[in-house]
Amino acid sequence: MAAAVRIAWQGATSAAELAFSGVSSFCWTGSRLSLSIERWPTHKPAYHCNCGTRRILPSWKTRGIFVIDAKSLRNALGNFATGVTIVTTCHDGRKIGLTANSFNSVSLDPPLVLWSLAKKSSNIDAFMNVDAFAVHILGADQEALSNQFATPGIDKFEGVDIKTGDADVPLLRDCAARFECRTAYRYDGGDHIIFVGEVLDLEQSEKEPLLFHRGRYARKTMPKTGDGTENARDLNYLVARAYFMLTDGVRTQAAEHGLSQVDHYALSVLLKGGPATMSEVNAMLGTSGWQWTDADLQRQAEVGLVQVADDGNVSLTKSGRETMIGLFAQAKAVEADAQKAFSPDELDQLRSLLSQLLETLGRQDTKGTAQHLEVMNALQADQPAQDASDS
């Protein structure tokens, strides 16, 4: 019996709940009492009648009865990752579109899909009075489009490439999938109306879908395998590939300045740390497998990027410092562009996980290879620690 009364909704109660309570389900006037949860100050289950009769249920009678809090329900449902769709229609000659993640399949034969819209939505009347709509499953690269159609008070279709379907329904291009539907059924679903559509036509692509999880956009965590992507789950491969893709443009520009990779590393050390001897520079580079030779030094001195003092210290010239700062600025620009693919929370999580990985590897380091991180710091430092003197 207790299982039958796990939830007590405001308003009329079930016979099982009334039986469980042990309290008469009728008022002295003969009217049926309804079970509800009182608001402030008691917040207790009670029976009420229109005549004013009120009976608070004793605590032992209400064990197992509770009200589902809307915020808690939303948070719990948010653990179910969904795709993101844009639903469009045309009503009285006006294009209408909105973002929704309540889309789901119903049947293959006949082909039926459903989605729901809040009764308080400004678009509810339009969808209640049309028989045609389209559902677009967005791709992972269409987050901005999703945000545009979720923003109230703007022209949702401004700047959007569309074509017109049956009944003048606007159809978006380049989505992961699109379904053109005829409204088959409408159902009352609490504070929403559930629309069931018969699929009349569809298009699909191989684009990765845009996902929504816990109130924000998400990405797939299981990349495809096969077709040359067998290493897509290998951590070494992912970290190395990300590094080389982030720095490829900088390496290309460095080469245009006559800098090899070891030159770039060595001059980055000088940019951050200031003048140093060849031995000190190579101490930083050695564990990475690189060595800056006298021939390398001589070549960079001849083109005016470095200078050697009488005490043997090597430093950047004004031209060398300007060159390295330019490369540094390009590296930061590439980094900033790559970060646009992530939300602030995702970036924080990425940095945290990478920092945790580096900390773990640092504890396991027995060969002093972590010293090479100083070179990486030199390449990615926000500002040089010390400027070399002008030539």
Which pLDDT belongs to residue 47?
Answer: 56
* d(C-alpha 91, C-alpha 292), whole Å: 71
Which residues lie below 8 Å from residue 363, measured CB to CB, with a gap of 6+?
A: none
Question: Helices marked H in 68-201 — which ranges?
Answer: 70-77, 124-128, 143-150
Tokens of 315: 């430093």
Which residues lie below 8 Å from residue 364, measured CB to CB, with a gap of 6+?
A: none
Which pLDDT belongs to residue 200?
Answer: 95
Q: Is the dihedral of CA 44, 49, 50, 54 positive or negative?
A: negative
Whole-angstrom CA distances from 274 to 55, 229, 267, 269, 322 are 82, 43, 10, 8, 14
pLDDT along the chain (391 residues), means of 10: 33 39 53 54 55 54 52 70 91 94 89 94 95 94 92 92 94 95 92 94 89 73 51 75 84 87 87 88 77 90 92 91 88 86 83 85 62 48 40 37
Owner of token pair 């009182």: 38
Residue among 35, 30, 33 at smallest CA distance from 17:
35
Reported pTM: 0.46
Q: Starting from the edge strand earliest in sequence, which strands make up the sheet with 177-189, in order?
A: 94-100, 85-91, 132-137, 177-189, 192-204, 112-118, 104-107
DSSP string, 240-257: HHHHHHHHHHHHHHHHHT
Which pLDDT belongs to residue 28?
Answer: 57
